[in-house]
Amino acid sequence: MIKIAPSILSADFAQLGQEISIVEAAGADWIHVDVMDGHFVPNITLGPPIVSAIKPHTSLPLDVHLMIDKPEQYIADFAKAGADMITVHAEACIHLHRVIHLIKEHGVQAGIAINPGTSAAVIQEVLEDIDMVLIMTVNPGFGGQAFIPRTVQKVRQVRQWLNEASLFDVHIEVDGGITSETAPLVVEAGADVLVAGSAVFGQKDREAAIQAIRSSVQNG
């Protein structure tokens, strides 16, 4: 089953609770929360207080994508705020294995993200320890950027490694430039969680937007 995770980065921040309720009713599977610190990426977004504030507005899992330096310093705060899944960037972690286990010690699922310019090889040694690989299909920092086609081969490579290791429950999430045109490419390569920001919140009819992505991968 393909999961669709609308990214609230493209939502109306003044109406966040309502925006989340709308996409939940429209058929979203997870809520993707982009955390940016102005250091790891050139943009600043939100922190644990916003995660706590949105938690009561949805029964969907909160998929928290940390685009921050030293993520290990903030795992406890995001877990306490209600994150169900915390994804850290491999590029931001000197002790990747330690950070993954720190996330899991808080009873939260652990994901590792990699940028378009990072080889998938950096996650090979920790595949058995994680719940999700997030393959960035744009450079992180902003919504509304164009999908980078070369990232599709990375999705295929990671799915092959997971299959060879019989790790069938590990998700592959893709993030950036996902639309009804690009979704079939990444799903065919092995992605099963699709983050979509502008393709959902940038559309007036969120239900039709989610449905368009879902039917593109069901029929494609």
Q: Which residues are catalytic?
A: 34, 175
- Of the ranges 50-58, 73-81, 115-123, 138-146, which one interacts with ligand 5SP (CB under 6 A)? 138-146
What is the arrangement of strands in the sheet containing 85-89, beginning at the earlier edge strand?
Answer: 3-6, 193-196, 171-175, 132-136, 109-114, 85-89, 62-67, 31-36
Q: Which tokens is 212 given?
A: 């368009």
Instruction: Please give the span between the terminal C-alpha atoms of the chain, in angstroms, as a whole number.
Output: 14
Please select the residue that binds ligand 5SP; options are 140, 174, 183, 190, rule is CB under 6 A: 140
- Residue 141 assigned to a binding site: yes
Q: Which tokens is 147 given?
A: 């999908």
Site for ligand 5SP in 46-65 (CB under 6 A): 65
Please report how close the Cβ of residue 168 comes to ligand 5SP at its closest, in angstroms. 25
Please select the residue that binds ligand 5SP; options are 54, 88, 138, 162, rule is CB under 6 A: 138
H or E element that contains 6 = strand 3-6
Count other Cβ atoms within 10 Å, centred on residue 76.
15
Distinct helix (H) and strand (E) counts, the chain = 8, 8
- Quick one: what does residue 138 bind among Co ion, ligand 5SP, none, with the CB cut-off 5 to 8 Å set by partner type? ligand 5SP
**Contact mark string toward ligand 5SP, 148..187, x via CB under 6 A:** ---------------------------xxxx---------
Q: Which tokens is 188 given?
A: 């065919």
- The answer to whether 22 and 213 are in contact (CB under 8 A) is no
User: Helix, strand, or coil here: 25?
Assistant: helix
Please select the residue that binds ligand 5SP; options are 48, 82, 111, 143, rule is CB under 6 A: 143
Distance CA 147, CA 140 (A): 11
- Of the ranges 54-62, 89-97, 136-144, 186-194, which one interacts with ligand 5SP (CB under 6 A)? 136-144
Phi/psi of residue 88, nearest 5 degrees: -115, 155
Of residues 163 and 215, the one with the C-beta less far from ligand 5SP: 215
- Kindly list the residues in this chain that would bind ligand 5SP in the complex (CB under 6 A): 7, 9-10, 32, 34, 65, 67, 138, 140-145, 175-178, 195-199
Binding positions are: 7, 32, 34, 65, 141-144, 175-177, 197-198
Binding positions for a divalent metal cation are: 32, 34, 65, 175
